[in-house]
């Protein structure tokens, strides 16, 4: 009886042929390993009285690979792996929420209009002119709101409120 190393050397092309016949192009190393394990199992279970080892080994190897392919396909169908775009959107939403939450800390003690000015300016990136148009106020009114708001924020920072 020949050693298993000798069997592997003799039947390695058969494993590659089974992989090629099943059009395995992903996870080649994994499927080759599956083929080796199947070859070992076939070697252990083979009954010499029932026929040729090569045909038994080939059907055993190919069957094991088909079972493994089915498991891989089921796993891919049952599990959804979001792409980088999905995770990028989640991270962007989280970042935006954290930025707005951070800005809210500076708005302690400010009126609603002053808080809105902080969000419009620092979160949305709007100019003084844009805010004036949005709120239908004069440019000087928004500049006055800016001056008062920034003074209150500085005062909060100096007192250690923020």
For 76-113, the pLDDT digits (tens) are 888 776 677 766 666 666 666 557 777 788 888 899 99
- Tally of domains within the chain: 2
Tokens of 59: 């059907």
Domain boundary among 50, 78, 106: 78
Record the pTM: 0.49
Domain boundary among 78, 96, 124: 78
Strongest mean pLDDT among 6-10, 74-78, 123-127, 143-147? 143-147
Domain that holds residue 26: 4-78
- For residues 131 and 142, the answer to whether their CB atoms sit within 8 Å is yes
10 lies in the same domain as 64: yes
Domain boundary among 78, 112, 127: 78
């Amino acid at each position: 009886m020949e050693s298993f190393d000798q069997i592997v050397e003799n039947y390695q092309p058969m494993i590659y042929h089974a992989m090629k016949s099943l059009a395995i192009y992903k996870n080649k190393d994994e499927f080759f390993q599956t083929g080796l394990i199947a070859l070992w199992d076939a070697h252990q279970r083979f009954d010499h009285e029932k026929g040729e080892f090569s045909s038994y080994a080939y059907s055993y190897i190919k069957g094991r690979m088909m079972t493994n392919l089915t498991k891989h396909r089921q796993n891919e169908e049952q599990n959804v792996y979001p792409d980088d775009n999905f995770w990028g959107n989640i991270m962007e939403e989280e970042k935006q929420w954290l930025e707005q939450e951070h800005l809210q800390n500076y708005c302690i003690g400010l009126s609603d209009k002053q808080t809105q000015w902080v969000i419009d300016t620092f979160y949305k990136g709007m100019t003084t002119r844009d805010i004036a148009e949005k709120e239908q106020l004069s440019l000087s009114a928004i500049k006055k709101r800016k001056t008062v708001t920034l003074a209150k924020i500085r005062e909060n920072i100096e007192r250690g409120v923020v």
